[in-house]
Structure 1
Amino acid sequence: MIKVNELRGIIAKNGLTQSQVARKLDIVPQTFYEKMKKGIFGSDEISVMIKELHIENPMDIFFADDVT
């Protein structure tokens, strides 16, 4: 599971909304919100977010052992 709060912070830091990130992933915002709620994204979606959001340490966010 991912660290949702950290991902939200990175989205905001990039000046984007969750809806805008959803469009970059070619999914509707509601689907993005559900994935955020569950803390689970597919590997293709993770790859796009790493690139589009300029995430330097993806392991810390997307493959976290502790999701607090």
Structure 2
Amino acid sequence: MVDTIQLRKIMKEQGYRDDDLADAIGLTSSEFARRMSESVFGTDEIEKMIEILKIEHPESIFFK
């Protein structure tokens, strides 16, 4: 599970919109929106988000 509230907070702080991050991790905007609503992403996508957003404590957002 993904803490989408915290993920959105980090995205906003770093100036990423949904479309931007979706493109950066290789998803369409609609697929990204679906995964956010379900709070579920694949391991590869999570790893990319951690790297792109420079998340220092990923366990606080992912793997809940």
Q: TM-score, normalised by structure 1?
A: 0.91
Residue equivalent to 1:14:
14
What amino acid is aligned across from residue 49 of structure 1 in structure 2? M
Which residue does 2:2 correspond to in 1? 2
Q: Please list every run of 5 or more consecutive structure 2 residues that lacks an aligned counterpart in the other structure.
A: none
Q: In structure 2, how many angstroms separate the alpha carbons of the residues matched to 1:62 and 1:47?
A: 10
Identity between Structure 1 and Structure 2 (%):
34
Residue 63 of structure 1 deviates from its aligned partner by: 1.0
Alpha-carbon distance between aligned partners in 2 of 1:27 and 1:60, rounded to the nearest angstrom: 23
CA RMSD of aligned residues (A): 0.6
Unaligned runs of 5+ in 1: none
> Post-superposition shift, 1:52?
0.2
